[in-house]
Amino acid sequence: MASYETLAITDDGPVRIITINRPEVLNALSTEVVAELSAALEAIAGEPSVGALLLTGAGKAFVAGADIAAMAQMQPEQALVFAGQGHALGEMLSKLPRPTLAAVNGFALGGGCELALACDFIYASEKAKFGQPEVNLGVIPGFGGTQRLLRRVGQARALELCMTGEIIRADEALRIGLVNKVVPPEALLETSIATLKTIASKGPLAIAALKEVMHAGASLPLADACDLEENAFAALFSTADQKEGMAAFLAKRPAVFQGK
């Protein structure tokens, strides 16, 4: 496993745990962090033993935002490159053929909220706080927040959060559907890992197909999205995992999936 300057990476069974490790600056997203996260995600593609990804932050924050000191000096051309890197990272997370979970332990603001939104699920500590406060800096979210937030919570609520720059607590984030679950701080990692281990025990080709179809179908007319589902469902009947899963069910034994 490669080593990184800004990330700490460990495995718990099939779960790859990536911790953004810059607690002295509340894990602010710099170009180096974005580049290292992208490299770490690329590495997972070549590691079939990794069945799921958990993303979290060290110390008091998940990610408290982007590196404002660095952004303050940017010209439009540099800002466009930086935003492109953030969007590419979000796209990698959304297209990773494994489940991804953001375990938000503290502040998830600006780019941190956007990073969490790019994951399939968000579990939050009771101490977590979320927000897109970019308007306070004279800009808008640049890593996908305007689009992923409205798809998560609806257009009116997303507009309100982005226009006011309001920072909300975990219980409110749960109420509006921004997060899936809120737990005590000491239970966050254990609960997150347990969910990912459950998913990793399922057919990996089925999980990958689910993720692909649901992401792609979200922006399509319903009839076209259902066509995606129909074709993906049928294609899985050519796999050894489908044969094993159904044979195991009929034999009343646990399935042993191979991802083939």
Torsion of the alpha carbons at 73, 76, 82 and 84, rounded to the nearest 10: 170
Looking up residue 240, the CATH number of its domain turns out to be 1.10.12
Based on the fold, state whether residues 88 and 23 are members of the same structural domain. Answer: yes
Based on the fold, state whether residues 118 and 245 are members of the same structural domain. Answer: no
pLDDT at 109: 97
Based on the fold, state whether residues 194 and 209 are members of the same structural domain. Answer: no
99 and 211 in contact (C-beta within 8 Å)?
A: yes
Give the C-alpha separation, 47 to 96, whole Å: 12
pLDDT at 62: 97
Would you say residue 2 lies in a domain? no
Would you say residue 235 lies in a domain? yes
User: At a CB cut-off of 8 Å and minimum separation 6, what does 54 contact?
Assistant: 15, 16, 17, 18, 100, 101, 103, 189, 192, 193, 196
Instruction: Write out residues in the chain with pLDDT < 50, as ranges.
Output: none
Q: Could you say which of 134, 166, 212, 230 is catalytic?
A: 134
Range of the domain at 161: 7-200
**Of 161, 123, 258, whose CA–CA distance to 201 is shortest?**
258
Give the C-alpha separation, 243 to 223, whole Å: 29
Based on the fold, state whether residues 116 and 164 are members of the same structural domain. Answer: yes
User: Around Cβ 23, how many Cβ atoms within 10 Å?
Assistant: 14
Sheet holding 121-125, edge to edge: 7-12, 15-20, 52-57, 100-104, 121-125, 181-183
Based on the fold, state whether residues 192 and 209 are members of the same structural domain. Answer: no
pLDDT at 58: 97
177: tokens are: 């559907």
Based on the fold, state whether residues 100 and 195 are members of the same structural domain. Answer: yes
Would you say residue 132 lies in a domain? yes
Would you say residue 68 lies in a domain? yes
pLDDT at 67: 82
How many domains is the chain built from? 2
**Of 42, 52, 34, 54, whose CA–CA distance to 1 is shortest?**
42
Give the C-alpha separation, 230 to 158, whole Å: 32
Based on the fold, state whether residues 55 and 155 are members of the same structural domain. Answer: yes
Would you say residue 167 lies in a domain? yes
Would you say residue 260 lies in a domain? no
Based on the fold, state whether residues 165 and 97 are members of the same structural domain. Answer: yes
pLDDT at 1: 65
Based on the fold, state whether residues 77 and 125 are members of the same structural domain. Answer: yes
Residue 134 among the catalytic residues: yes
pLDDT at 65: 86
Based on the fold, state whether residues 89 and 211 are members of the same structural domain. Answer: no
Based on the fold, state whether residues 169 and 147 are members of the same structural domain. Answer: yes
Q: Could you say which of 114, 160, 172, 229 is catalytic?
A: 114
Give the C-alpha separation, 133 to 93, whole Å: 23
Would you say residue 117 lies in a domain? yes
Based on the fold, state whether residues 34 and 68 are members of the same structural domain. Answer: yes
Looking up residue 59, the CATH number of its domain turns out to be 3.90.226.10
